[in-house]
Structure 1
Amino acid sequence: MNKLTLMIAGLGIATAALPATASAAPWQSVNQRQANIERRIDVGVRSGSLDRREARSLRIQYRRLVRLEARYRSSGHRLTRGERRILERRYDALSRQVARQRHDRQHRRYASYRRR
Structure 2
Amino acid sequence: MNKKLTMIAAGIGLALSVPTVAAAAPWVPVGQRVANLNVRIDQGVRNGSLTRPEAMRLRTQLRDLQGLEARYRRGGLTIAERADLDRRFDRLSAQVRFEKHDRRARW
Name the TM tier (shorter chain).
0.7 to 0.9
CA distance in 1 between counterparts of 2:26 and 2:79 reads 18
Q: Which residue of 2 aligns with 1:98?
A: 96
Q: Which segments of 5 or more consecutive residues in structure 1 lack a partner in the other structure?
A: 1-12, 110-116
Query: Please, what is the CA RMSD of the aligned residues?
Result: 1.7
> Partner letter of residue 67 of structure 2?
R
How many residues were matched structurally?
88
Deviations 1:48-68 (A, max 9, x none): 100011111101110100000
Q: Which residue of 1 aligns with 2:85?
A: 87
Length-normalised TM-score, structure 1: 0.68
- Higher helix residue share: 2
Seq. identity, %: 56
Q: Which residue of 2 aligns with 1:8?
A: none
Pairwise CA distance, 1:86: 0.5
Q: Which segments of 5 or more consecutive residues in structure 2 lack a partner in the other structure?
A: 1-12
- Are the equivalent residues in 2 in contact too, given 1:50–1:107 (CA < 8 A)? no
Deviations 1:94-114 (A, max 9, x none): 0000000001112411xxxxx
Runs (4 or more) in structure 1 with deviation over 6 Å come to none
Deviations 1:26-81 (A, max 9, x none): 531111111111110011011110001111110111010000001111223xx110
